[in-house]
Structure 1
Amino acid sequence: MRHLIFGFLLPFSLASIPETTLATGYKSQSSLIQNLTSKPTDEKFYTESGKLIQRQLDLMARIEQALTDPDVNRIRAVRGQLTIQVKTVENFVHRQQKNPQIFCNSQIDSSRNLSLLPDRFQALDQIYCPLYTSSQELSKLFPVLDKLLSRRGELALVRQLPLVTGERQSDPVLSIAPVELPHLGKPAVPFSTWEPNLLSTGTLGTQLASPQVQVIGRNAKTAIANYAPPIQPALVSPDSVLTTLATAKGMLTAALGAFPPEIRFTDPWENAAILDRFAYGLDPQEPRIYAKFLELPRTGIFRVLQSSVYQRPLNTLWNRLQPNVNERYPFPSLGDAKDGFNPSLALQMVGERFQLVDQGLDYSFMIDVGDIPLDKLDGKLQLLASPTREFLLNYQPPQALEALKVEKRRFLTGKNQKEILAHAPAKLNHTYVVRSLQFQLPEVMLSGQFISSDPLQQIPSSDMILAFRPVRRRADGSYTVLWRVLNELPAPQIAK
């Protein structure tokens, strides 16, 4: 059984493309049909046309991705690939029919004549015209891609492309220095200024997951005086381009049903979604495997990713309007949202350790209690040893704002701590019990402005005891974990 596979990169040299035969004159509809049916109509036609359709679908998916990618090399690549594809399709259809535009766009009703042809000729007509008209529709994108390529050149360095003839070119000033040619498979060098690494490092030598430290209720010095990070671009796909792509895709989709069943096509948009879920999400069978546990109240399953996937690499461009990993795969919610406040299990991997990412005044601590099944634990933690159980149930958070800040640093850095920290080594099939305190701070506090004590008492908050259990480790260091809320304690209050 044949399968048409996509994904290879087309060459950019046009030297090997033969001259396109120009259609001249006008032929009657019957002669056009006779011309088409006189061409080979066997397996070779299906194979060649199927490959062209698959390449065209793949190219449309790459164009759609390049529209919102700030990398100039993405636009340059699809611009060249589109030229190759349009010329290749034109050569193919002209070999089948010297007047494809007249044949496919004629206003003469040909349905009666085509119905007299064998079924296979009707199928070829259903493939021939959609492929040609879809290619011509895509050719409308040339001026738009040229314009976008010019605008992308404002963000990153556009290096010269190699000459079509293969000649070598030297620098116009330093003749002995060869011109550095681009590698279109790699991102272009951005014009943005150098970005320093401002990530903090904990006392255990592990890099903390939060790249920014929030200043609460007071002014503070920045790590680098007068430093302003570069503003990332905001890119939106033009509506006209999306309409053209949708029209061309609809034409090709209509032609797929005319192929024999043994010829299969891949959907690049569906494949991209599958690969994205494979990289960051759960496998579809995992919720089914643990369906019995997930029937329990306030339980869930999610994938704990490495903290690096939430951080943009330094000195790289990104589209600030595109949803990031945390927006596509949000942390699980622990309860019902009330007045916009919704506690979550913001769990990440920092190296080989589990760590809850706590923003603002949020803080937590976790304890590895060994191989205890989650469904055996209850709100009173009766299966835990007495000292651990008493500490988890009876711990009282401070009520003063400054004391909460100190308490958070104490659990996070391990200062004056022995075993109970905000992070723990990851061990498969171990259960971790967590005490999590979360506060919804107003924007005025996060902006470094002073706030009086009265509004502090009205800040929404939560205090929960929950447990999670890693049940699968993947090659990238991420874990699939089951979680369960065990107890919800009175919400903490900030007195001053």
Structure 2
Amino acid sequence: MRHIFFSLLLPFLLVSVARNVLAAEYQSSSTQQHHLTFEPSNEKFYTEAGRLVQRQIDLIARIEQALINPDANRMRAVGGQLTVQVKTVENFLHRQHKNSHTLCSKQADLARNLVSLPDQLTASQAQIYCSLYASSQELLKLTPVLDRLLSRRGELALVRQLPLVTGEHQSDPVLSIAPMQYPHLRKLATPFSTWEPKSPTAASAPLPVIGRTAKTAIANYVPPVQPAIAAPESSLTTLATAKQILAATQSSFPPEIRFTDPWENASILDRFAYDLDPQESQSYAKFLELPRTGIFRVLQYSAYQRPLNTLRNRLQPSVNERYPFPSLGDAQKRFNPSLALQVQGERFQLRHPGVDYSFMVDVGDVPLEKLDGKLQAIHSPMREFLLNYQPPQNLDALQLDRRRFLTGKDQNWQQKQTILAHAPAKLNHTYVVRSLQFQIPEKMLNGQPISPEQLQQISSSDIILAFRPVRRRSDGSYTVLWRVLNQLPTPQIQQ
């Protein structure tokens, strides 16, 4: 009976023992895998550390821009991003070694193998580890600076209380259901006291009158002064130190991990938006070998204008300062005329500051190489007018001719067609321009009188040139070839 009971019980015992053995083996394997996942493998360490280094580099670039930008939202955004980045780096470092300060204070000894490395870190990993720690400690110095500068930005623009990331209900006295409000740090902060009337375009704006007092469109209106913001030198030194630390540690990463340079990318995007493509000058190298020729990108009128009711740091160079108009004269001289050509709508037009003015003629598909100083490739009536037009010597008469060319009114040139200072923009057409430019003193531009002797000493130029658009981009800008055809005697203002 005992043998019968044991024989019946034996299969269950075998199954139970086998199950316990399998469970023990599975538990041992699972525990081993669990420990392996938390051991810092080389690939995982370099991947995560490379991501943190890249984020830190990008953050440094954003902080540099926020220091010189009047927008309060940008300053507030980088302040929050700095806090998140420092905490993320601390968590990563803590997972690798419990005491970052103790380990990295002996970094010089680690580099010379005078101190033993932690078991889980190699020499290159220890260098990356301490570089992340050192750069984070440097950036952490900027936290009170960013808070202080954010309050200063609050003097320029409205800094609203930041809602929760998940959104907040905004109370409304009329609507029974309050709308959900979300943070919008990517939007520009609303400036204080910068209401600006909608200004007319360059084509319809009233021309200023030089030498006399003229009425303004809005009585007693004074345009708002744009802020002048300079980044604190101590902050720039801190950012440069952190940037240098991260640049030195990039060589410790495997070659397959690469880093992008946000400053280089920003420069490339800026040139892409406003400058020529590198291959364009090479494509027209033969033409550019001719004397007094050039190539440049003609931008839309809006590229040079600050949007209304927005803030701009007046210490930062504008588009016109970063990409100046080509010079037409000798750079060694005190007065150097320029080809200030831009696109207004769908028309080419030169900018006319002071009493400058010009007129242009579309001569069709005529290569620039076939044009000369006598304009023999142009039909006779228009050629004679371009060559023989005499600018007035009286200041008021000079401005009268200026208005005639800009508006097309009251023209008595003995020509059957109206001659304007602008022309429709057409690709692969050649335009001949007569440009008159004067270096008006600042005192005269402000409405103050000057003596007749000072009036006669005003520098000026009278140039006949031609330009030809050879490419049009999707933003409405053109790549233009230009050539100076003739330098006429300089006009004089007698009275």
Class of the TM-score when normalised by the shorter of the 2 chains = 0.7 to 0.9
Once residues 167 and 355 of structure 1 are traced to their aligned partners in structure 2, the CA distance between those partners, rounded to angstroms, is: 49
Query: Which deviates the most, 313-322 or 345-354?
Result: 313-322
Once residues 443 and 151 of structure 2 are traced to their aligned partners in structure 1, the CA distance between those partners, rounded to angstroms, is: 41
Asked whether the 8 Å contact 2:127–2:249 carries over to 1, the reply is yes
Once residues 271 and 193 of structure 1 are traced to their aligned partners in structure 2, the CA distance between those partners, rounded to angstroms, is: 33
Q: State the one-letter code of the partner of 1:265.
A: F
Q: State the one-letter code of the partner of 2:422.
A: H
Q: State the one-letter code of the partner of 1:455.
A: Q
Corresponding residue of 1:53: 53
Once residues 99 and 87 of structure 2 are traced to their aligned partners in structure 1, the CA distance between those partners, rounded to angstroms, is: 15
Corresponding residue of 1:33: none
Once residues 88 and 371 of structure 2 are traced to their aligned partners in structure 1, the CA distance between those partners, rounded to angstroms, is: 65
Corresponding residue of 1:294: 288
1:111–1:264 distance in 2 versus 1, CA, 3 Å: closer
Partner deviation per Cα, 1:154-206 (whole Å, 9 max, x = no partner): 11111121236x4745559999766855410110111124211232564xxxx
Q: State the one-letter code of the partner of 2:461.
A: S
Q: What's the CA shift for 1:471?
A: 0.8
Corresponding residue of 1:104: 104
Q: State the one-letter code of the partner of 1:74.
A: R
Corresponding residue of 2:187: 186
Corresponding residue of 1:440: 439
Corresponding residue of 1:29: none
Asked whether the 8 Å contact 1:115–1:122 carries over to 2, the reply is no
Corresponding residue of 1:113: 113
Q: Alignment partner for residue 303 of structure 2, among 309, 314, 323?
A: 309
SS at match of 2:349: strand
Corresponding residue of 1:31: none
Corresponding residue of 1:69: 69
Once residues 170 and 111 of structure 2 are traced to their aligned partners in structure 1, the CA distance between those partners, rounded to angstroms, is: 60
Corresponding residue of 1:5: none
Asked whether the 8 Å contact 1:379–1:486 carries over to 2, the reply is yes
Once residues 298 and 179 of structure 1 are traced to their aligned partners in structure 2, the CA distance between those partners, rounded to angstroms, is: 62
Q: State the one-letter code of the partner of 1:327.
A: E
Asked whether the 8 Å contact 1:214–1:446 carries over to 2, the reply is no
Asked whether the 8 Å contact 2:436–2:460 carries over to 1, the reply is yes
Asked whether the 8 Å contact 1:114–1:122 carries over to 2, the reply is no
Once residues 129 and 405 of structure 2 are traced to their aligned partners in structure 1, the CA distance between those partners, rounded to angstroms, is: 68
Once residues 467 and 121 of structure 1 are traced to their aligned partners in structure 2, the CA distance between those partners, rounded to angstroms, is: 66
Asked whether the 8 Å contact 2:168–2:181 carries over to 1, the reply is no
Corresponding residue of 1:353: 347
Once residues 226 and 138 of structure 2 are traced to their aligned partners in structure 1, the CA distance between those partners, rounded to angstroms, is: 32
Once residues 258 and 114 of structure 2 are traced to their aligned partners in structure 1, the CA distance between those partners, rounded to angstroms, is: 26
Q: What's the CA shift for 1:116?
A: 8.9
Asked whether the 8 Å contact 2:347–2:424 carries over to 1, the reply is yes
1:224–1:299 distance in 2 versus 1, CA, 3 Å: same
Corresponding residue of 2:32: none
Corresponding residue of 1:474: 473
Q: State the one-letter code of the partner of 1:470.
A: P
Corresponding residue of 2:488: 489
SS at match of 1:103: helix
Asked whether the 8 Å contact 1:160–1:182 carries over to 2, the reply is no
Q: State the one-letter code of the partner of 1:113.
A: N
RMSD in angstroms over aligned alpha carbons?
A: 2.3
Unaligned runs of 5+ in 2: 1-37, 412-416
Q: State the one-letter code of the partner of 2:257.
A: I
1:421 is the counterpart of 2:420: yes
Corresponding residue of 2:139: 138
Corresponding residue of 2:266: 272
| TM-score normalised by structure 2 residue count | 0.86
Asked whether the 8 Å contact 1:214–1:359 carries over to 2, the reply is no
Once residues 73 and 426 of structure 2 are traced to their aligned partners in structure 1, the CA distance between those partners, rounded to angstroms, is: 42
Query: Which deviates the most, 193-202 or 283-292?
Result: 193-202
Relative contact order (C-alpha < 8 Å, sep 6+): which is higher?
A: 1
Q: Alignment partner for residue 214 of structure 2, among 220, 225, 228?
A: 220
Corresponding residue of 1:22: none
SS at match of 1:109: helix
1:328 is the counterpart of 2:308: no
Unaligned runs of 5+ in 1: 1-37
